[in-house]
A and B are shown apart, each in its own frame.
Chain A
Amino acid sequence: MIELKKLSKVFDTGKGALTAVDDVDLSIAAGEIFGIIGYSGAGKSTLIRLLNGLEKPSSGSVVINGQNITAIKGSELRKARQKVSMIFQHFNLLWSRTVKENIEFPLEIAGVPKNKRDARVLELVELVGLKGRENAYPSQLSGGQKQRVGIARALANEPEVLLCDEATSALDPQTTDSILELLVDINKRLGLTIVLITHEMHVIRKICHRVAVMEGGRVVELGDVLQVFQSPKAEITERFVAQVTDTEDSQETIKNLRKLYPTGELVKLVFVGDQTEQPILTQLIRKYPVDVNIVQGNIAHTQRGAYGTLVLQMKGSAQEISEALAYLNAESVQTEVMSNG
C-alpha cells in the first residue's frame, strides 16, 4: 500500500545541512495501523509530511497504492492528497466555520455538489459521534470533540490512507483513549490504512499492529508491536517499552524492592500473548517447592494480544529456584533475576 524507498530529507538550515529523514525504507500494508514512534526531533513529522507531498524528499521515493507521490505535482498531487488525508495534533480546524462547514471543506475542494455534500456531512457527523453539534463553532468544542471533527473532515473524501501526526498528544488520557478507539473502529469498518506518529508508547500499544522506532531520522527498529514489546532490540525501544510496562523498573526501585523483600530472589517474568491467559503461576507453585510472593504486576493489551510483566519474590534453595525458572522458560515465559543490587 505504502512503499518508502531510500527516503531522505535534508533541510538547508542557516547553520548547514540537517538530515531530518535519513535513508528510510518502509513498507506498510493495506488496512494496517502502522505506528511510528520517536522522541522530539526524530523526524517523524517530516516523514509523514513526505507521505502526502507536503514536503519534497531530497532523495528516494514514496509510492502509495501504485502512485509515485514524489514524482507528481500540481493538480495530480492535489488529487492524490484527497486520498491520503491527515489529522493534526492541534486539530487545525477553521474557527470561522461550524463543525458542519469544517467537515464540508474537503468536499468543496473536491468539487462535490452541495446536496451530496450535505448528505455526506450528516453521515460523517454520525460516524464520529458528534450528532447535535453540527452547528457549533470549534471554539465551543472540547479538545476531543475538535479531534472528532478533524477525523470526520479527514474521512470526507473517502481516503485510502489516514495520516495522524500526534493526533492525541494534546488530549487528556481518557479523551485519548476514546479517539484511539474511534481510529480502530474506522480502521476496521472502512479498511483504512492508518499511519500514526507519536511519542507515547501506550498509543502504539493500544492500536498499532506494527511499529517503527525512529531516532535521528533513521528507523532503528521495526516489527510487530507485540514482538517489539517482548524483545526490544534498540536501547531507545527499551525506553519506550518501559513507558508502558515496568515504569518502576529503574535501579532505584529495584533497590527499594530488595529492601522490602530482603530474602529470596526477585524475578521478573515477561508474558506474551496467550500465556497471559494460562494458569502458569498455579502450575509453578504446584510443581515446585518454592514460595512465591507477587511484588508487582502489569498487563498491557495490544492489538495483537496481551503483554505482561510480573515481579515475584521466590524463596527456596538455589537448586529449587533454578528448576522453577527452567520450567517457566520451557513455557516460553521470559525470566530475569533482578540483581541483588
Chain B
Amino acid sequence: MVESLFPNVDWENMWEATLETLYMTAMSTFFTFVIGLVLGIVLFLTAPKQLWANSIVNWLTGAFVNIFRSIPFIILIILLIPFTKFLIGTIRGPNAALPALIIGAAPFYARMVLIALKEIDKGVIEAARSMGATTWTIIRKVLLPESKPALLSGITVTAIALVGYTAMAGIIGAGGLGTLAFLDGFQRSREDVTLMATILILVIVFAIQFIGDWMTTRSDKR
C-alpha cells in the first residue's frame, strides 16, 4: 500500500536523510541557543542604565546581530564557504552546514532573548540588587528563570526556522531531507520522493512545536 503510493522512495535513504536533518537541527539549535543567549544578555546588560551599561560594546554587538540577521540565509551559506572550509575541512555534509546555520540563527535568537529580557519587571532586578546579589547571580537567578517561557518559545520558533534552513542548506549538498528532495526528487522528477521528504519535515516541525509549547506552558507560573 505505502510501497505503491511511494514507488521510488528508498526507505533506507529516507531514514538516513531524516536522521541527518534531525542531527543538523539539534546541533544548530543547541549552539544557537547558547550563542544567542550570550549575545542577548550582553545586548541587554550593556544597554544604557543597565548593570553593564557600555555604549561601545552595545553598539558593536547590536551591529553584529543586525547585520547577520539581515543577510538572506542562502547568501550567508555562500559567503561562509571559506570559513566553513577552514573550520570543518569540507563544505559537504551535515557538519559543514552547521556554521552557516548557527551564524544565521544565533543573531535572530539574540533579538528574541533581548525582547524577553526587556519584558522582565525592572523591580525584581532592583529587588535582587537590594539584597546584595552580584550581576552573575542576577543573570542566573533572575534574568534567566524570569524570562524562561519567552526564551523557550523563542527557541521553538528558531528551531523551526532552522529546520527550514537545513533544507535550504541541503540544496548545496549539506545532506538531509533537503538534499534528498532536491537531488532525488526534483532533479529526477520523482514527485513521491519530494512528497515523502516534505511529510517528514512537517512531522519534525510539528514535533518541535509540540514539545516547545509544552515546555513553555509548563515553565510559565505567571
Interface residues of A (CB under 8 A from B): 52, 54, 77-82, 85-86, 88, 90, 92-97, 105-106, 108-110, 137, 139, 153, 157
In the complex, the number of residue pairs spanning A and B with C-beta atoms less than 8 Å apart equals: 64
Known contacts A81-B132, A82-B132, A109-B133: does B127 contact A92 (CB below 8 Å)?
yes
* Interchain CB contact under 8 A, B141 and A92: no
Residues from chain A with a CB closer than 8 A to the CB of B222 are 95, 139
Chain A hits for B130, CB < 8 A: 52, 54, 81, 85-86
- Interface: B66 (CB within 8 A): no
A108 partner residues in chain B, CB cutoff 8 A = 137, 141
Beyond A52-B130, A85-B130, A94-B124, whether A109 also contacts B221 by CB under 8 A is no
Q: Which residues of B contact A (CB under 8 A)?
A: 121, 123-124, 126-134, 137, 141-142, 145-146, 148, 219, 221-222
Q: Which residues of B contact A80 (CB under 8 A)?
A: 132
Residue on B nearest A163 in the bound complex, by CB: B130
Contacts of A82 in B (CB 8 A): 131-132
Of A79, A88, A97, A137, the residue contacting B132 (CB under 8 A) is A79
Distance between Cα atoms of A211 and B206 in the complex (Å): 63
What residue in chain A is nearest B146 (Cβ atoms)? A96
Q: Tell me which of B137, B145, B219 contacts A94 (CB under 8 A).
A: B145
Q: Nearest A residue to B137 by beta-carbon distance?
A: A109
- Complex-state Cα separation, A39 to B123, whole angstroms: 21
Contact of A90 among B123, B129, B146 (CB under 8 A): B123
Query: When the two chains form their complex, are residues A54 and B221 in contact, meaning their CB atoms are under 8 A apart?
Result: no
Interchain CA distance A78-B137 in the complex, whole Å: 12
Q: Which residues on the B side are within 8 Å of A97 (C-beta)?
A: 145
In the complex, which residues of chain B have a beta carbon less than 8 angstroms from the beta carbon of A90? 121, 123
B residues in contact with A81, CB < 8 Å = 129-132
> Which chain A residue lies CB-closest to B221?
A137
Residues of B within 8 A of A93 (CB): 124, 127
What separation, in Å, do the CA atoms of A137 and B129 have in the docked complex? 22
- In the bound assembly, the distance between CA atoms of A108 and B132 in angstroms comes to 11
Please, which residues of chain A bring their CB within 8 A of the CB of B123? 88, 90, 92
Q: Known interface pairs A94-B142, A109-B132. Does A88 touch B127 (Cβ–Cβ under 8 Å)?
A: yes
A77 to B130, CA, bound (A): 10
